[in-house]
Protein backbone atom coordinates (compact mmCIF):
# COMPACT_ATOMS: atom_id res chain seq x y z
CA UNK A 1 0.00 0.00 0.00
CA UNK A 2 1.09 3.55 -0.73
CA UNK A 3 0.55 6.27 1.89
CA UNK A 4 0.69 10.00 1.37
CA UNK A 5 1.84 12.01 4.40
CA UNK A 6 0.71 15.56 3.62
CA UNK A 7 1.70 18.63 5.62
CA UNK A 8 3.38 22.01 5.74
CA UNK A 9 6.65 20.71 7.23
CA UNK A 10 7.83 24.30 7.79
CA UNK A 11 10.27 22.87 8.85
CA UNK A 12 10.23 19.10 9.39
CA UNK A 13 10.71 18.18 13.08
CA UNK A 14 11.74 14.98 14.84
CA UNK A 15 8.01 14.46 15.50
CA UNK A 16 7.31 14.38 11.75
CA UNK A 17 10.35 12.17 11.17
CA UNK A 18 9.12 9.70 13.79
CA UNK A 19 5.77 9.41 11.94
CA UNK A 20 7.60 8.93 8.61
CA UNK A 21 9.88 6.21 10.02
CA UNK A 22 6.96 4.35 11.57
CA UNK A 23 4.89 4.80 8.40
CA UNK A 24 7.73 3.27 6.37
CA UNK A 25 7.43 0.08 8.45
CA UNK A 26 3.70 -0.13 7.73
CA UNK A 27 3.49 0.84 4.05
CA UNK A 28 5.37 -0.10 0.87
CA UNK A 29 5.92 3.54 0.13
CA UNK A 30 5.42 6.78 2.05
CA UNK A 31 5.13 9.92 -0.05
CA UNK A 32 5.90 12.96 2.06
CA UNK A 33 3.94 15.67 0.27
CA UNK A 34 4.73 19.30 1.06
CA UNK A 35 1.68 21.49 0.72
CA UNK A 36 1.86 24.90 -0.85
CA UNK A 37 -0.67 26.99 1.04
CA UNK A 38 -0.85 30.52 -0.42
CA UNK A 39 -2.68 31.79 2.69
CA UNK A 40 0.28 30.96 4.95
CA UNK A 41 3.64 32.73 4.79
CA UNK A 42 6.17 29.98 5.35
CA UNK A 43 9.68 30.47 6.71
CA UNK A 44 11.14 28.05 4.15
CA UNK A 45 10.19 27.75 0.48
CA UNK A 46 8.57 24.54 -0.73
CA UNK A 47 11.88 23.59 -2.42
CA UNK A 48 13.88 24.18 0.78
CA UNK A 49 11.41 22.10 2.79
CA UNK A 50 11.60 19.27 0.22
CA UNK A 51 15.40 19.36 0.40
CA UNK A 52 15.32 19.28 4.22
CA UNK A 53 13.01 16.25 4.16
CA UNK A 54 15.09 14.44 1.50
CA UNK A 55 18.28 15.03 3.49
CA UNK A 56 16.96 13.61 6.76
CA UNK A 57 15.15 10.62 5.24
CA UNK A 58 18.11 9.26 3.23
CA UNK A 59 18.24 6.21 5.52
CA UNK A 60 14.71 5.20 4.45
CA UNK A 61 14.52 3.43 1.10
CA UNK A 62 10.74 3.68 0.65
CA UNK A 63 10.27 7.42 1.07
CA UNK A 64 9.49 9.76 -1.78
CA UNK A 65 9.40 13.54 -1.30
CA UNK A 66 7.05 15.65 -3.39
CA UNK A 67 4.96 18.83 -3.34
CA UNK A 68 1.35 19.52 -4.22
CA UNK A 69 -0.99 22.45 -4.76
CA UNK A 70 -4.28 20.62 -5.29
CA UNK A 71 -6.82 18.88 -3.06
CA UNK A 72 -5.03 16.29 -0.94
CA UNK A 73 -7.32 13.44 -2.04
CA UNK A 74 -6.91 14.37 -5.70
CA UNK A 75 -3.15 14.32 -5.24
CA UNK A 76 -3.33 10.97 -3.39
CA UNK A 77 -5.40 9.45 -6.22
CA UNK A 78 -2.89 10.68 -8.80
CA UNK A 79 -0.17 8.92 -6.81
CA UNK A 80 -2.27 5.70 -6.63
CA UNK A 81 -2.21 5.96 -2.83
CA UNK A 82 -4.81 4.26 -0.68
CA UNK A 83 -3.95 5.98 2.59
CA UNK A 84 -3.49 9.48 3.97
CA UNK A 85 -1.12 9.35 6.91
CA UNK A 86 -1.49 11.90 9.72
CA UNK A 87 -0.02 12.30 13.18
CA UNK A 88 -1.99 12.94 16.35
CA UNK A 89 -0.39 14.77 19.24
CA UNK A 90 -2.74 16.42 21.68
CA UNK A 91 -6.50 16.71 22.04
CA UNK A 92 -6.49 19.98 20.10
CA UNK A 93 -5.22 18.14 16.99
CA UNK A 94 -8.13 15.75 17.22
CA UNK A 95 -10.95 18.12 16.33
CA UNK A 96 -9.20 19.45 13.22
CA UNK A 97 -7.99 16.02 12.11
CA UNK A 98 -11.46 14.50 12.59
CA UNK A 99 -12.99 17.26 10.44
CA UNK A 100 -10.34 16.78 7.74
CA UNK A 101 -10.74 13.00 7.91
CA UNK A 102 -14.51 13.23 7.40
CA UNK A 103 -14.11 15.84 4.65
CA UNK A 104 -11.60 13.75 2.74
CA UNK A 105 -13.77 10.63 3.18
CA UNK A 106 -16.76 12.51 1.74
CA UNK A 107 -14.66 13.62 -1.24
CA UNK A 108 -13.04 10.28 -1.86
CA UNK A 109 -14.49 7.28 0.03
CA UNK A 110 -11.86 4.82 -1.22
CA UNK A 111 -9.00 6.64 0.52
CA UNK A 112 -8.56 5.95 4.24
CA UNK A 113 -6.96 8.32 6.72
CA UNK A 114 -4.63 6.49 9.11
CA UNK A 115 -3.54 8.27 12.29
CA UNK A 116 -0.37 7.43 14.14
CA UNK A 117 -0.24 8.59 17.73
CA UNK A 118 2.87 10.63 18.41
CA UNK A 119 5.70 9.12 20.41
CA UNK A 120 5.61 10.51 23.93
CA UNK A 121 8.80 12.52 23.65
CA UNK A 122 7.46 14.49 20.66
CA UNK A 123 3.90 15.10 21.81
CA UNK A 124 4.60 18.79 22.58
CA UNK A 125 6.54 19.43 19.39
CA UNK A 126 5.40 21.58 16.46
CA UNK A 127 7.10 23.46 13.63
CA UNK A 128 5.89 26.78 15.02
CA UNK A 129 7.34 26.04 18.46
CA UNK A 130 10.69 25.22 16.87
CA UNK A 131 10.65 28.47 14.86
CA UNK A 132 9.78 30.46 17.97
CA UNK A 133 12.73 28.98 19.90
CA UNK A 134 15.18 29.37 16.99
CA UNK A 135 14.10 32.96 16.39
CA UNK A 136 15.27 33.90 19.87
CA UNK A 137 18.53 31.99 19.58
CA UNK A 138 17.46 28.93 21.61
CA UNK A 139 18.81 25.42 21.10
CA UNK A 140 16.68 23.25 18.79
CA UNK A 141 19.13 20.41 18.07
CA UNK A 142 17.06 17.96 20.18
CA UNK A 143 13.85 18.88 18.29
CA UNK A 144 14.77 18.85 14.60
CA UNK A 145 17.12 16.87 12.31
CA UNK A 146 20.65 18.36 12.27
CA UNK A 147 20.34 19.73 8.72
CA UNK A 148 17.21 21.65 9.75
CA UNK A 149 18.91 23.00 12.89
CA UNK A 150 21.68 24.51 10.76
CA UNK A 151 19.17 25.91 8.22
CA UNK A 152 17.30 27.60 11.07
CA UNK A 153 20.52 28.99 12.49
CA UNK A 154 21.50 30.42 9.09
CA UNK A 155 18.04 31.80 8.50
CA UNK A 156 17.79 33.68 11.77
CA UNK A 157 21.44 34.78 11.75
CA UNK A 158 20.64 36.46 8.43
CA UNK A 159 17.63 38.19 10.03
CA UNK A 160 19.75 39.54 12.86
CA UNK A 161 22.58 40.62 10.58
CA UNK A 162 20.10 42.28 8.21
CB 22 within 8 A of CB 63: no
Q: What is the largest CA-CA distance in the chain?
A: 51
- Interaction between residue 9 and ligand ADP (CB under 6 A): yes
Q: Establish whether 16 is a catalytic residue.
A: yes
| Positive/negative CA dihedral, 4, 115, 100, 54 | negative
- Interaction between residue 46 and ligand ADP (CB under 6 A): no
- Interaction between residue 89 and ligand ADP (CB under 6 A): yes
Residues in the interface with ligand ADP (CB under 6 A) total: 16
Which residue stretch of 23-31, 58-66, 102-110, 125-133 sits at the interface with ligand ADP (rule: CB under 6 A)? Answer: 125-133
Which residue stretch of 41-49, 101-109, 122-130, 132-140 sits at the interface with ligand ADP (rule: CB under 6 A)? Answer: 122-130
CB 27 within 8 A of CB 83: yes
Q: Establish whether 158 is a catalytic residue.
A: no
Report the Cα 37 to chain-centroid distance in Å.
13
Give bridge partners of residue 117 from the DSSP assignment: 88
Q: What is the C-alpha end-to-end distance of the chain, expressed in Å?
A: 48
User: Annotated active-site positions, please?
Assistant: 16, 40, 89, 127
Chain positions contacting ligand ADP, by CB under 6 A: 7-9, 13, 15-16, 19, 86-87, 89, 93, 118, 122, 125-127
Amino acid sequence: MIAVYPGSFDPITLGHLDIIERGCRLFEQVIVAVSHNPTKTPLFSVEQRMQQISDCTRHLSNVKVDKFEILTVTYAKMQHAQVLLRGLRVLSDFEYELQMGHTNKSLCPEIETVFLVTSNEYSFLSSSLVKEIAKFGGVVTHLVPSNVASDLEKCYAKTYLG
